[in-house]
Structure 1
């Protein structure tokens, strides 16, 4: 890193049964309908990865969200809607590279008023205009509802601390070490040597809950709190796994969990789903699309 980040002295707490019991997910009462469980709006996908939003959207519904809307490039929208009939689909203009175009925010913004949780980034690569697109949506969405940034939308926000801090802590970011390096300007090798310090400094700088994904996942809340999940399975290192994690967290946010609780539970559910699949199918070779089906039962078990 450019200057060793301070903050590695934060007390690290495991996301174990005691922590989960002390930080339960929002209860779902008898007869609670889909509208009361929250609506997730997902923005992402590209010509290169047209199916990423399906993984994220299905995971959000498996985590208990009531409704999901998918906003993606127009050439992928119809196929995505047919493959995922539970979701509504919004077709967006694409640029010449097959990524969401800068002017797409004009089609997305009218949907934000009825959105409880906004997710931007799965299946996206950063383009020169991506930061402008993300900033426009963040400004319109505001801090009254929750937001999650992942993948290309996250890395495009290097130097945009003010835009993220304006959300008053109602935002989650889910980088791996390379993405955290792109977001912060820290050296990746130093992040890998001292991940606790790196994630704490980044969370404080951006005023966000940050989950740093690696062989173990660290979650910092920007106020000195640091959580650790060391379970899971090597098989979780597979294409699309991060898209599923983003969806689980988004579903919990839409239900009313705080950013820290939603992120910690999401990381635990994702990791435990991977552990279950390892026992059932083998430690390697299961697919990201296999994970979300295990989430409902894991939530019930707590």
Structure 2
């Protein structure tokens, strides 16, 4: 078990900043999600990806939220996708999502999604085709639908990052949540083996497990991170680093550390409890330079 300390970060450096590189060279992210219930979650994810240095971000969401989301996030493109009867992305959104995946480096799927009526089929359709140049972050409802998709996920050969909290991992694996809490290292390792993916098991003590046996741990001292939208920011940070060319386990490790450090910075500037997920975002560029 390796801690995400300075020694680890030094041994696993961030991508070099290339002077003169254009925005495409810094990586392209496509983030799909949102719903009528949570239409703004993708704005947090997109901003986080840009704040950690991704060059271009495009957001795919339900048509009713697309224009408002684009106005909130003028730095990102927006794609309107079909909506299902429950106000979530519909199964017909798969064609539009797959079209976007042909021209991006990292795909973040799930922020702001909560329904399951069409999500099972949609998730299966958008991860069915592995692309050697594409890495995927599965979050929220699509993550919850990963149970039964082990073969599809493993076919991506380690280029998928799963970001469950303890309850989501219990749903994925059929284990009792209490058993996961009693031994999160074992649970994360077993899930990484089962799905052939990097697993970020989120909690105050976050465990990162990779299929090759790598195990990382980060103990958070920022209780204010337990707030709505915090996971959407984390997904964006990891996705942005993936787009910049980091290996999945390194992107997950740096993402967890940056998220935690931003939480500490927000706590110092605002207060230990009560800062918002959006308050994490301005701290990320400075933390990248540390």
- Would you identify which runs of 4 or more consecutive aligned residues in structure 1 move more than 6 Å? none
Question: Contact 1:143/1:166 (CA < 8 Å) preserved in 2?
Answer: no
- Taking the TM superposition and a 5 Å limit, the aligned residue runs for 1:154-193 are 154-193=143-182
SS of residue paired to 2:167: helix
The residue aligned with 2:267 is 278
Gaps of 5+ in 2: none
Pick from 217, 224, 243: which aligns with 1:254? 243
The answer to whether 1:121 aligns with 2:97 is: no
Question: Contact 1:277/1:286 (CA < 8 Å) preserved in 2?
Answer: yes
Q: Which has the higher contact order (CA 8 A, sep 6+)?
A: 1
Length-normalised TM-score, structure 1: 0.94
SS of residue paired to 1:186: coil
Q: Which moved more, 1:139-148 or 1:165-174?
A: 139-148
The answer to whether 1:18 aligns with 2:10 is: no
The answer to whether 1:201 aligns with 2:190 is: yes
Question: Contact 1:177/1:214 (CA < 8 Å) preserved in 2?
Answer: yes
Deviation, 1:131, is 2.1
Aligned length: 290
SS of residue paired to 1:123: coil
Length-normalised TM-score, structure 2: 0.98
Question: Contact 2:32/2:110 (CA < 8 Å) preserved in 1?
Answer: yes
Following the alignment from structure 2 to structure 1, what is the Cα–Cα distance between the partners of residues 158 and 121? 20
Deviation, 1:299, is 0.7
Q: Which moved more, 1:77-86 or 1:127-136?
A: 127-136
Deviation, 1:292, is 1.4
Gaps of 5+ in 1: 1-11
The answer to whether 1:229 aligns with 2:218 is: yes
CA RMSD of aligned residues (A): 1.0
Deviation, 1:141, is 4.9
Following the alignment from structure 2 to structure 1, what is the Cα–Cα distance between the partners of residues 248 and 282? 23
